[in-house]
Structure 1
Amino acid sequence: MGLRGKSGLWLTALLALLLLIALLAGRTGLDVFRQHFGAAYARNHALLQAQKLVTPITRELSLSQRLAELGSVRAYLRNGHDPATTFADLERFRAAFADGSAFLIANPSGRYHFTDHNDPAAARAPRYTLREDEPKDAWFYATVRSGRPYTLNVNVDDTLRVTKIWFNVLVHEDDDKGGAARVLGLAGTGLDLTRFLAEFVATDDPGVTSLVVDGTGAILAHPDPKLIEYSALTKATPERTLYRLISGDADHAALERSFAELRAAKGGSRTLEVRLDGQPRILGVAYVPDLDWYVLSAVDAGAARVIDEAALWPIALATLVLILLFAAAVSMGVDRMILNPLLRLTESARRLAAGDYGLRLSSHRNDELGELTRVFDGMARQIDAHTRELEGRVAERTRDLAAAHNRVAEAHRQIQDSIRYAGLIQDAMLPQAALARALPERHFVLWQPRDTVGGDLYLFREDADGFVIGLVDCAGHGVPGAFMTMIAHAAFDQAVQELGLADPAALLARMDVAIRALLPDAAAGRHLATNMDAVLCRVDHARGRVSFAGAHLDLYHCVAGVCTRIRGDRRSLGERRRGDYENHVMSVEPGAAYYLTTDGFLDQAGGMHGYGFGARRFAETLAALDAQPMHARQEILLRELREHQGERPQRDDIAVLCFTIPGRGDAPGTTYGE
């Protein structure tokens, strides 16, 4: 196919592309207009429905309040006086109410008087008596206890066999002294729910659903009566709420934020996009502050008539005609002015496009195409020169990068070897063998540095009367933390040599002095963390007691399924201000287990919200381990940590030390290990 045929195909493809772009742009624009006008339509529809709702509701509520203020009503509800006047007044208001019904309820007797157009004289005798122990009457007592001047409640009255929106207005005793007025009962009316839904919720507009919710999101009115929350007043947690119809936490948060803004503004409207019953909807929200109700209009932008699409067809046809005329003009101009001269350049251009930068072009034409040929020739020469230069530079940079990569790999290997060697040194410093010899199958150590080496250290030293066991949590991680553990170990050795093992608090105080001597004062001036948390336990076999002292670390004492957290002193070792450390002495109890932990376990982030494991949950987990053998305790504790941590990285070095006391810490028949 020749150049002219290809250009024809190119222009045809361009025309098709332009038509496709115009179609997509028109469709996108139509969707944007639908969303924009749909939002305005939803907002205006919600405001209109709210206005339709407010006028009759306000009228019925106002009449109910006037009925509750009548002296005859108060006199009758107070002591049964003047019933003829009371029921005459009740009949006058019944005739004025839109539903033709009215009621009075006496408190606390629960006498329920109801009248409607079917039997106006029925109110003279109570229809039935409400009881506080009857669940279906709970709405009345909840209304009285709430103290609110009025409430509106959707309720099914099984005795009267009616379902209405009830206007419940409190009738108070007059109190000339200004004190709290006693509640004499309720007065009000009701609106038939079917009629209410037909007049104020039902809509003939396609793609639009109207509903009414209260401040808690409970659905008070919906075209589907099955979704209405009846007797919402008596329920602490409504079941049929708008939030159950809306999918996604983000949509819930946006809806709650809109409710809060409207309540703060005491009116107005908002729009937001949500998924209602799993379908995308534009939600218009209008607030009725007098009722604390929200009127919502859910608009399906695709089904609602928010745009007259028939009026857009002439514009679309005119756009299509213009595109076709433009394509024809371009085709004729290209063929006459460009294609014919370019045929002579086709072969040369093809060779240049194939990468033949050694191609040399020449032209004697003085027009633009001649100039184009000369420009192509100059461009080919420059590309050829630049290509050669770049190839040389790439080869040189490749050699440099290979050498740099080798240097980085060698440095990384040396660092890793050093860290592994530091790990061997730190492992050799830990008293694993001494613990295994002194407390076989009566202890476990969960020691997990965040890196290969870490800042957590466990200690053990024994004498003729017993032993001292403890943990130290040094500031820092990795190699710096490991160096700090060496300082802590040296301080512990010095304290033991000078003081012996009898007094854990004295050992902590001496370690504090030694650490301050080993670390120069200049470290604090450089804002370097040099403090250490520590805990020591002295087990005295002869006296049958355990002495505990802590520097910002605690002891967990577990026996008979109860785990008690014994707090250490709040000052760490090496802090700027010196701390005083105190011994906590307790007798050895049969079956008791003692747990020491650094904050790495307690602070490990995990769970749904990324919170730490926590001391309370740690103590509860330890209490549940009481009946387990020692090796199983370690496995269960590690499993709990892994389940809590999930995919989150380890935040800090982790060390947990558990031990029981041989001969005294065992309940009869207790065994450890298998």
Structure 2
Amino acid sequence: MGIRYKIIIFISISFVVLGVFLDSFISSKISQAFNQRLVDKAQKVAYLLEQTEQDGILNENLFGRLSRFVEVQSTDKEVKGIAVLKSLEDVYASNILEINNYTQQFDRIENKEEYQRNDSVFYLKTPIYSNSIVDEEKQISCTVLIELYTREVDENLSEILITLRYIILFITISILVLVIIFAESIVKTILGLVEQSKIISSGNYTNFISSKRKDELGTLARSLNDMRENILSSTKKIIEFNKKMSDSIYYAETIQNALLPEDSFYADNFQDYFYIYKPKDIISGDFYWSHKDKDGNLYVCAGDCTGHGVSGAFMTMIANALLNQVIVEENISSPELILTRLRELLINTLNKDLDSESDSGEQLKNGMDVSFCLFDANQKILQFSAANQVMILIRDEEVQLVKGDAQPIGLHTKMVDFTKQEIQLQKNDQLYLFSDGYIDQFGGPSFKRYKRGKFVKTMKNICAQSMISQKKALEQEFEDWKGESEQVDDIIVMGFKI
């Protein structure tokens, strides 16, 4: 239910309750006023009787005067009956025929209580002291019992109440309609502001909120317009800034891709191959590097640098430059020596501006994990060294895991010399280098990591296929596993068939 209907229902219920309360309250007050009029009438009659008796206006004996007064007052259309009495057994004067039937009511009257019965009101006025009646040398007080007609009063009261209810109903409905119209104008403005807020929140900042109101709602509308202008201005600045950043990143991507080996290198030197290079962002912290020396030996490296995106991409460029320095310029050809020298150069390059004590934690973060292969062209021997990585070798559909050293290229709590392993290659051997981006991906029915064991099993299942088919199978497997979730890291997977 919308706010419009809630407000209308609330106002309607409030006015109905108010109308019922006013009807009950005013009716009660009017009824009390009419009853008070009857009481005042009875008081007046009793007062006149008292004055008549005490002043001795009528030249008659007591009973004659009382009877005469009762007779005169009885001509009043509102006076049904008058009785002057000391008790129900001692009546001085009366024209009330049913005086003997008032036994129960008389006690109430003597207690000065107003009593109503059907269409009559009984009222007591005491004391009246008689100047003519003396009992044991004391003046005797008497009681006046007055019976008044109320039928006409009740009829008038009923007519007034009916008229009053119509007036209250008319006024209530009129005010209700005016309030609803006023509330509707406010609600309409509020709903308009809500719709405009939704439009703004959706990213459309072109709509202008028109409002001529001078109250708080008008101020709110103008504030929304100001906010829209500020957001629009800020958005334009952000778009311009993002464009500049994107242009820079795409240019960095071009540079990074230019540093990667060409596909022809692998096509010329291996029976078959594939690689999956899939950055998490536009540019990657994973890289691959290759080189062929003058003796025909092949150097192939797959690395995973600290971070991804811009920071990771800068690390890959440093790694590329250092590999060229170590292998091409310094002519170091043994994989374990290459990794050891690479670590030394990387530590010096990254940490030369850091304080050795205060920035020790930052020093440990910087580095890379690397798999490095040297293919001896003459002896058909593979020399393998790795930092925190594993190589998969599949021979005759049997899987072997060739593990590297458990330390990175970079500062580490326990740094030792890297080692190498030599493998005599056979025809149709298949080798796979990979970073942890593929196996760390979250997904699947239970949304968990892919893990290395599952990756090895997948490679075994598809190893009989061609390298290009293996690539497609791995890419499809990754997408199926990832589903709608986000890619968590950069990915590099390389496969070679000897």
**So what's the TM-score if we normalise by structure 1?**
0.43
Secondary structure of 1:489's counterpart equals helix
Taking a change above 3 Å as real, the CA distance of residues 548 and 532 of structure 1, as seen in their structure-2 partners, is: same
Conserved? CA contact 1:467–1:501, under 8 Å: no
Residue 627 of structure 1: aligned partner: 464
- The letter for the 2-side match of 1:455 is G
Residue number among 511, 527, 536 corresponding to 2:342 in the alignment: 511
Superposed, which structure 2 residues align to 1:468-487 within 5 Å? 468-487=299-318
Between structure 1 and structure 2, the one with the greater Rg is: 2
Taking a change above 3 Å as real, the CA distance of residues 444 and 343 of structure 1, as seen in their structure-2 partners, is: closer
Residue 387 of structure 2: aligned partner: 551
Conserved? CA contact 1:569–1:580, under 8 Å: no
Map Cα deviations across residues 81-133 of structure 1 (whole Å, 9 max, x no partner): xxxxxxxxxxxxxxxxxxxxxxxxxxxxxxxxxxxxxxxxxxxxxxxxxxxxx
Residue 370 of structure 1: aligned partner: none
Superposed, which structure 2 residues align to 1:26-37 within 5 Å? none
- The letter for the 1-side match of 2:277 is W
Conserved? CA contact 1:441–1:630, under 8 Å: no
- The letter for the 1-side match of 2:492 is A
Distance in 2 between the 1:343 and 1:631 partners? 82
Residue 42 of structure 1: aligned partner: none
Conserved? CA contact 1:468–1:501, under 8 Å: no
Secondary structure of 2:351's counterpart equals coil
Shift of 1:638: 1.9
Secondary structure of 2:378's counterpart equals coil
- The letter for the 1-side match of 2:404 is G
Residue 608 of structure 1: aligned partner: 445
Residue 403 of structure 1: aligned partner: 233
Structure 1 unmatched ranges of 5 or more:
1-5, 16-331, 357-382, 666-674
Shift of 1:556: 0.8
Secondary structure of 1:600's counterpart equals coil
Map Cα deviations across residues 168-209 of structure 1 (whole Å, 9 max, x no partner): xxxxxxxxxxxxxxxxxxxxxxxxxxxxxxxxxxxxxxxxxx
1:412 paired with 2:247, answer no
Secondary structure of 2:485's counterpart equals coil
Shift of 1:346: 6.0
1:637 paired with 2:466, answer no
Distance in 1 between the 2:269 and 2:381 partners? 17
Superposed, which structure 2 residues align to 1:263-278 within 5 Å? none
- The letter for the 1-side match of 2:431 is Y
Conserved? CA contact 2:383–2:420, under 8 Å: yes
Conserved? CA contact 2:441–2:449, under 8 Å: yes
Distance in 1 between the 2:221 and 2:458 partners? 66
Residue number among 437, 440, 459 corresponding to 2:289 in the alignment: 459
1:339 paired with 2:169, answer yes
Taking a change above 3 Å as real, the CA distance of residues 610 and 402 of structure 1, as seen in their structure-2 partners, is: closer
Residue 85 of structure 2: aligned partner: none
Distance in 2 between the 1:575 and 1:472 partners? 16
Shift of 1:473: 0.4
Residue 408 of structure 2: aligned partner: 572
Secondary structure of 1:576's counterpart equals coil
Conserved? CA contact 1:553–1:598, under 8 Å: yes
Residue number among 491, 496, 507 corresponding to 2:322 in the alignment: 491
Superposed, which structure 2 residues align to 1:94-493 within 5 Å? 338-342=168-172, 345=175, 349=179, 352-353=182-183, 355=185, 384-433=214-263, 435-436=265-266, 438-439=268-269, 442-463=272-293, 464-493=295-324
Cα RMSD of the aligned pairs, angstroms, is 3.4
Conserved? CA contact 1:599–1:654, under 8 Å: yes
Secondary structure of 1:460's counterpart equals strand
Shift of 1:625: 2.9
1:533 paired with 2:363, answer no
- The letter for the 1-side match of 2:340 is A
Shift of 1:609: 2.2
Conserved? CA contact 2:267–2:273, under 8 Å: no
Larger RCO of the pair (alpha carbons < 8 Å, separation 6+): 2
Taking a change above 3 Å as real, the CA distance of residues 384 and 351 of structure 1, as seen in their structure-2 partners, is: farther
Distance in 2 between the 1:541 and 1:423 partners? 33
- The letter for the 2-side match of 1:491 is L
Secondary structure of 1:431's counterpart equals coil
Shift of 1:354: 5.7
Map Cα deviations across residues 393-435 of structure 1 (whole Å, 9 max, x no partner): 4443332222112111111222222221111111111112452
Residue 130 of structure 1: aligned partner: none
**So what's the TM-score if we normalise by structure 2?**
0.57
Shift of 1:551: 0.6
Shift of 1:485: 0.6
Shift of 1:619: 2.0
- The letter for the 1-side match of 2:490 is D
Map Cα deviations across residues 485-524 of structure 1 (whole Å, 9 max, x no partner): 1111111111113443631111101110110111025284
Residue 655 of structure 1: aligned partner: 492
Distance in 2 between the 1:347 and 1:636 partners? 72
Q: Matched residues, percent identical?
A: 25
Conserved? CA contact 2:303–2:371, under 8 Å: yes
Conserved? CA contact 1:564–1:619, under 8 Å: no
Distance in 2 between the 1:344 and 1:647 partners? 59
Secondary structure of 1:639's counterpart equals helix
Distance in 2 between the 1:536 and 1:474 partners? 14
Distance in 1 between the 2:266 and 2:421 partners? 26
Conserved? CA contact 2:340–2:418, under 8 Å: yes
Shift of 1:637: 1.9
Distance in 1 between the 2:375 and 2:428 partners? 15
Distance in 2 between the 1:496 and 1:423 partners? 25
Secondary structure of 1:461's counterpart equals strand
Shift of 1:642: 2.4
Conserved? CA contact 2:430–2:495, under 8 Å: yes
Shift of 1:474: 0.3
Distance in 2 between the 1:495 and 1:568 partners? 20
Residue number among 591, 596, 601 corresponding to 2:433 in the alignment: 596
Residue 301 of structure 1: aligned partner: none
Secondary structure of 2:495's counterpart equals strand
Distance in 2 between the 1:549 and 1:350 partners? 83
Residue 282 of structure 1: aligned partner: none
Shift of 1:562: 0.5
Distance in 1 between the 2:265 and 2:374 partners? 14
How many residue pairs get matched? 314
Shift of 1:604: 1.5
Map Cα deviations across residues 276-315 of structure 1 (whole Å, 9 max, x no partner): xxxxxxxxxxxxxxxxxxxxxxxxxxxxxxxxxxxxxxxx
Distance in 2 between the 1:419 and 1:389 partners? 44
Secondary structure of 2:409's counterpart equals coil
Secondary structure of 1:450's counterpart equals coil
Distance in 1 between the 2:265 and 2:405 partners? 26
